[in-house]
Chain A
Amino acid sequence: MIEALSERFRRAYVIVTRATLVPVMVRMAVFAALLGALVVTLPPSVIEPRTVLPLLLVAALPAVAPRGPTTTLAIVAIVVAWVVTTAGAGERIALWRLLTLAAFLYLAHGLAALAAVLPTDAVVSADVLARWVARTAAVVLTASVLGVLLVSVSGIGGNDTLLTAGVVGLGIAVAAAALLAWMARRRA
């Protein structure tokens, strides 16, 4: 038992001492993105000294272990918190909050995917990070534009919200299913 623990500590020490800058930066960016998503999601009244530690833990776990399911669970938890905190808010949902949350969640997802494949002691070429961030930024930007269009079409909290959400959601679901089916069929 003690030997196993000491071995684990020794491995952790080796990982920490051999870590290089870029992988650590990517993991810190995952942490920052999830922390930002939490701050945007939760109302200020919830963020108090008693809840800071659990919130930091939720943001830190995916950064520490990006290869596990923690990233998925953290994003799902934030979305659930968003649904709960905005339930009944209707038109009071600020557009900037929604778009910022979407951007933070996708950033956390994309950077966690990068952190999962980057060994902590790797020597990383500069263009790897630059290309990855550029692609993620392009997706976030495009999604933000589409999000603004969606919100303006539906008008959050209006009478047509249910219908718009249903139609757009079904449309995207059908498109996603078709995309996945096409991907599965083709070879290249």
Chain B
Amino acid sequence: MRDSLRSGPGAAGPLVRPAAPAWAAEVADPADDDTPRWAPSKALGRAVLLTGLLLIGGVLFGRVDLIVLATPFAIGTAYAFRRRPAHSPRIRVGTDDTHHVEGDPVTACIEVANRDTIAYDVVVVRTHVSRWLKLADADRPHVVAVAPGGVREVDLRGETLRWGRHPLGPASVRVTACDGLLASRPVVSGVRGVRVYPVTDVFRADEAMPRAAGLVGGHRSRRPGEGGELAGVRIFGPGDRLRRVDWRVSLRTDRLHVAATLSDRDAEVVLLLDLLAEAGRSGGVKGSASVLDTTVRSAAAIAEHYLHRGDRVSLLEYGPAARRLRPATGRRQYLTVLEWLLDVKVDQVVYEPYENVFGPQVLSHNALIVVLTPLVDPRSAEMLARLARSGRYVVAVDTLPGAAAPPRRGPWTDVAHKVWRLERDNTIGQLREHGVPVVAWAGAGSLDLVLRDVARLASAPKAVHR
């Protein structure tokens, strides 16, 4: 725990190359300077006042009993002030781990350090916590004592509810020392971003890619070459390897025959995230999923699947930010994808982001484009149609939750919503007619059916509209 706190976001560094700008790193500790930040409390004023009043009364009236009454106040104040704090307390927030997945247990830690030679009698610690970090008693102040020169940690245990970068902090601390006679001014810590990666649904797609692009890889292509998939048996020719000779056919026909195979090649998968609209209510990992939740989780699952098979995966945002993650392969790319997905957010814009997003240098012509879209915005359907017309292999994954509905504003809301749903179904039908299969996200095997269709289309001759 202490190590993760000391390292901090800057020093520890993510295991993967940050695909996005670092988010709200811990700000400079405002308590670094040694400016006295201690003020007398009302209890000190009361102790001095009562001591003075009782002593003066005792002297004026000649009563020892009043002086006896003043004695504990005088002794208590003198004892409390035998030493005085000189430094401000230090506070820092951290977590037990730098990588969490939705639903994982998480422990947030607020560390208070006492650099003085006297104890902190009462340390009141408060912190802000994102609502997606469900930490026990995080909404209450915590009160501890800190020994001289010591460090005290307040642990808040709980679990992560949703993917994203969630702020932990700022935390504030207010210290009372000298038996409550001196109080520090509040010291505020920086904010720490807790990275919570999306949980990935199990995804599997057994169907062939429409067009494999590389020279080697895990997909059988539709071109002959060295591979494992049998394409047929043909007469031996110059350059054929002897181990390819099909002896059974050769003996039967008295001519040398070889087994022809299809080459295995890799492919590029582009995951296009439609970020023009958000709908539905996100209930975290155990609750309902919004459009953004489905988009991010399914993107992570699809990327994991294809990267595991050795394909190149790139990501692209369809929105004003138009962020792009370059195609790459392997586990490193998977971690980068997860990091990239943490910064996905919806920005509503009025202009058409198509031209900025889909330049010819961005999208490979052979790539399979999986568009994760709720099809709420008309521009999304237009974008899909334009991609299909440009001859690319497009599959649309519908991410709109079935229960998503607008807030009820009048008696016609339900009717209007039904009409809108019908129009949307019409749009989906039109997209299918244009060769864009649209499937709802259903985890494993979601894309098998449509990938088969796309692969069949890819093998057929086609005319591209220009």
Contacts and interface: CB of A to CB of B under 8 A. Distances in A.
A83 B61 contact: yes
Interface in B20-71: 36, 41-43, 45-59, 61-71
Given A122-B140, A123-B141, A154 B64 contact: yes
B69 A125 contact: no
Contacts of B56: 169, 173
A75 B50 contact: yes
A165 B58 contact: yes
A183 B40 CA distance: 12
B420 interface: no
Contact of B66 (A83, A124, A142): A83
A128 B84 contact: no
Interface string A160-188: 01101110111011011001100100111
Given A128-B121, A139-B79, A165 B64 contact: yes
B140 A123 contact: yes
A80 to B, nearest CB: 9
B406 interface: no
A8 interface: no
A125 B66 contact: no
B72 A113 contact: no
Given A123-B141, A132-B121, A187-B86, A110 B76 contact: yes
Contacts of B179: 110, 113, 132, 135-136
A139 B59 contact: no
A76 B64 contact: no
Contact of A188 (B86, B145, B180): B86
Nearest to B46: A72
Which applies to chain B's interface (DSSP): helix, strand, loop or mixed? helix
Given A83-B57, A116-B42, A122 B143 contact: yes
A140 interface: yes
Given A102-B72, A119-B141, A113 B181 contact: yes
B237 to A, nearest CB: 82
B124 interface: yes
A127 B123 CA distance: 12
Given A98-B68, A113-B41, A165 B122 contact: no
Contacts of A69: 42
A15 interface: no
Contacts of A22: 143
A113 to B, nearest CB: 3
A101 B41 CA distance: 24
B379 interface: no
Interface string A85-101: 01000000100001101
Contact of A119 (B52, B72, B78, B124): B124
A8 B146 CA distance: 35
Nearest to B174: A117
Given A123-B142, A128-B122, A139-B72, A71 B46 contact: yes
Interface residues of A, number: 69
A3 to B, nearest CB: 26
A108 to B, nearest CB: 10
A93 to B, nearest CB: 6
A118 B143 contact: yes
A44 to B, nearest CB: 19
Contacts of A121: 140-141
A106 B73 contact: yes
Given A165-B58, A180-B48, A156 B65 contact: yes
B290 interface: no
A93 B63 CA distance: 11
B124 A105 contact: no
A15 B55 CA distance: 39
A116 B68 contact: no
B422 to A, nearest CB: 45
Nearest to A105: B69
A151 interface: yes
Contacts of A168: 58, 64, 67
A76 B53 contact: yes
Contact of B122 (A118, A142, A150): A118
Given A20-B140, A67-B42, A188 B84 contact: yes
Interface in A130-156: 131-132, 135-136, 139-140, 142-143, 146-147, 150-151, 154, 156
A79 interface: yes
6 contacts: A75-B50, A109-B76, A113-B180, A139-B75, A169-B55, A188-B85
| Shortest beta-carbon contacts, A-B, top 5 | A113-B43, A113-B180, A162-B62, A143-B72, A106-B72
Given A72-B50, A143-B75, A151-B68, 5 more contacts: A79-B57, A110-B43, A116-B41, A118-B124, A127-B144
